[in-house]
Structure 1
Amino acid sequence: MLGLNTDIGVDLGTATVLIYRRKKGVVLQEPSVVAVNNDLGKVLAVGEEAYNMIGRTPGNIVAIRPMKDGVIADFSVTEIMLKNFIERACKRKMFLKPRIMVCVPAGITSVEQRAVLEAATRAGAKQTFLIEEPRAAALGANLDIFEPSGSMVVDIGGGTTDVAVLSLGDLVTSTSLRIGGDKFDEAIVQYMKNNHNLVIGERTAEDIKKQVGTAYPELKQDTMEVRGRDQVSGLPRNVTISSEEVYQALKEPVSSILECIKQVLEQTPPELSADIMDKGIVITGGGSLLHGLDKLLQDEVDTPVYIPDNPIGSVAEGTGKALEYLDKLESSLISSKSISKKNRH
């Protein structure tokens, strides 16, 4: 029998990978970045070290994000990254191969499912299960999803926003939108180009989002000095940007997320809608930390909105908990064994 302590949950995110180990909690949180030397075809760094190289490497070294919009964009690099993180999380070479629960966007295709299962298996899993991000987020936020009662979760990750209503341990209605924290950063980069003729990198855009970004400008009126490259002269230049400006930059992606949430609510059976009105909506993921987003959502849908204590770690914790509830969940999960059985028929 496999030791339960070798079971691990993986939040394979577009921006960040988190790994949860049973009885130890989240043991690894690293950016989903791999630095590769193209001349030698060699991996130089994985995670934080590779992230620090973004925008600062010579031509022969490339910092790659192998995940895009919540799914695998570069299979071989994802496999290398996953293997590295699993070995680091387990602090040793594994004598017992772990069972791995990986969370994926709710709208993932069967081809994308197979890619994740194969990458995890080749990275050292004995058996791999896939769980939808909102279901993992709900478990990680300590919602009792196994009751015959409606719970609503919005998980705003780096590449996707997953919205779902759950009851009796499964998704009742859900949707996945390929908009998340990365799209927020892209919107800020574009705004700086269009309105200030200033070219900035994605790391600077992320800093702007965290420091002065808001979805509710009435509650935040900060400013920040931003350094970038002038589009006309090509020389370095400083610009002061306000929270109001960042609000304008983020208006479109934030509105898309709000529309998505409203659509799921409209498709929800009335009895479950009543439960959600009582219990409120839980928002998780790094994107939930955008200042004022919870207040904006609460005003828009007239329902209480809560952010759990650890919104970034909720999905990873939920993947780990899902392994503890495997007897209740296994029939509704995709696994490496169920895929191989299909292949034999």
Structure 2
Amino acid sequence: MHTDLVAALDIGGTKIAGALIDGRGGILARAQRPTPAKEDGETVMGAVSGVLGELRKASDWDAVRAVGIGSAGPVDASEGTVSPVNVAAWRGFPLVARVREATGDLPVTLVGDGVAIAAAEHWQGAARGHDNALCMVVSTGVGGGLVIGGQVHPGPTGNSGHIGHISVDLDGDLCPCGGRGCVERIASGPNIARRALADGWEPGTDGDATAAGVAAAARAGDRIARASFDRAAQALAASIAATATLVEIDIAVIGGGVAKAGDLLFTPLRAALKEYATLSFVQGLEVVPAQMGTDAGLVGAAAGALRHFGGTGA
């Protein structure tokens, strides 16, 4: 029997994942359900309860001391509520109270998914050993979290570091968030593909019109496809440099589906960063790929719960 375990939930628009995790970040049990994102709020909560129900059947459940949740946002940790953009029925949904009720009144810690991923990368991944870091996810959206002074910095509501909605183009497109010229509107996967298509790129014979299709075309020498990735890299570089100038991070970690494009993204990003991060105290800024993969949200949610009762964590 293990002691001082935590249960972790990673809640997104596609899936709800759960795990039992020990103080070293080891995963001892897993459960997962699809997110019924188009259904009513209670149906979505039913999927969460199903994941927790599976975890409670694990032989180690009696050692669980707390629950950590990393959720698509926005979240409000001060109120214990979530309003994920891609789960329409959850607006101000009292997730913390409902999970506490479903787990026999265990303490529950809530953070946004970007903050959870930052916690995971700082504890176990590419930001390990760095006291000041930005960790980003560039995928369907663009999110992030900050490590400042050796500690994950979730902010009052659990959303601090949400870099996708920094404006990097004052005259840019309107973003669904209500802002204009946001990083997400330029650098997310769907927006990389949208820009390439608008500029005249045509998908190959496989018909793949996603960012992965754009990446494949760019590698094959398509000029328009490469320009769309270059523009995304420039937007990311501008936002990373702004963050570094503001809070003196020394490393930026980038994960998510778009980061899988590898050098196609990282080479122009690093080149653009030299143009934006010019002050002496940010010139040494590193940009590296994330290491934690698909378990990052779970491990980061666990890190928050472990901190709650004095376990290891990040």
In structure 1, give the amino acid aligned to 2:252: I
What is the distance in 2 between the residues matched to 1:81 and 1:65?
13
Task: Choose the corresponding residue for 2:245, options 260, 266, 288.
Answer: 266
Q: 1:189 to 1:86 in 2, by over 3 A?
A: farther
Q: 1:306 to 1:256 in 2, by over 3 A?
A: closer
What is the distance in 2 between the residues matched to 1:304 and 1:124?
41
For structure 1, the 5+ residue unaligned runs are 35-63, 67-73, 223-241, 330-345
Aligned position for 1:76: 42
What is the distance in 1 between the residues matched to 2:110 and 2:235?
27
- 1:102 deviation in Å? 0.7
Q: Which has the higher strand share?
A: 1
Residues 79 and 123, structure 1, Cα contact 8 Å, conserved in 2: no
Structure 2 matches for 1:138-287, cutoff 5 A?
138-143=118-123, 149-156=131-138, 158-171=140-153, 174-177=161-164, 179=184, 183-185=188-190, 188=193, 192=197, 195=200, 205=209, 208-210=210-212, 213=215, 217=218, 220-221=219-220, 244-248=223-227, 255-268=234-247, 272-273=248-249, 276=250, 280-287=251-258
Structure 2 matches for 1:56-135, cutoff 5 A?
64=37, 75-91=41-57, 99-104=66-71, 108-109=75-76, 112-113=81-82, 115=93, 116-121=95-100, 123-124=102-103, 126-135=106-115
Aligned position for 1:310: 292
What is the distance in 1 between the residues matched to 2:191 and 2:34?
17
TM-score computed with the length of structure 2 as normaliser: 0.60
Residues 137 and 255, structure 2, Cα contact 8 Å, conserved in 1: yes
Single out whichever of 286-295 and 88-97 deviates more from structure 2: 88-97
In structure 2, give the amino acid aligned to 1:297: L
What is the distance in 2 between the residues matched to 1:91 and 1:122?
17
**Percent of residue pairs bearing the same amino acid type:** 9
- 1:262 deviation in Å? 2.7
Computing the radius of gyration from Cα coordinates, the structure with the larger value is 1
Residues 285 and 314, structure 1, Cα contact 8 Å, conserved in 2: no
- 1:192 deviation in Å? 4.8
SS at match of 2:18: strand
The answer to whether residue 117 in structure 2 is matched with residue 137 in structure 1 is: yes
In structure 1, give the amino acid aligned to 2:259: S
- 1:129 deviation in Å? 0.8
In structure 2, give the amino acid aligned to 1:87: G
Aligned position for 2:266: 294
- 1:22 deviation in Å? 1.6
Q: 1:75 to 1:167 in 2, by over 3 A?
A: farther
Residues 163 and 261, structure 1, Cα contact 8 Å, conserved in 2: no
- 1:17 deviation in Å? 3.5
Aligned position for 1:21: 20
In structure 1, give the amino acid aligned to 2:242: Q
Paired positions, count: 255
What is the distance in 2 between the residues matched to 1:213 and 1:287?
9
Residues 14 and 158, structure 1, Cα contact 8 Å, conserved in 2: no
What is the distance in 2 between the residues matched to 1:300 and 1:176?
17
The answer to whether residue 303 in structure 2 is matched with residue 324 in structure 1 is: no
SS at match of 1:309: coil
Residues 118 and 145, structure 2, Cα contact 8 Å, conserved in 1: no
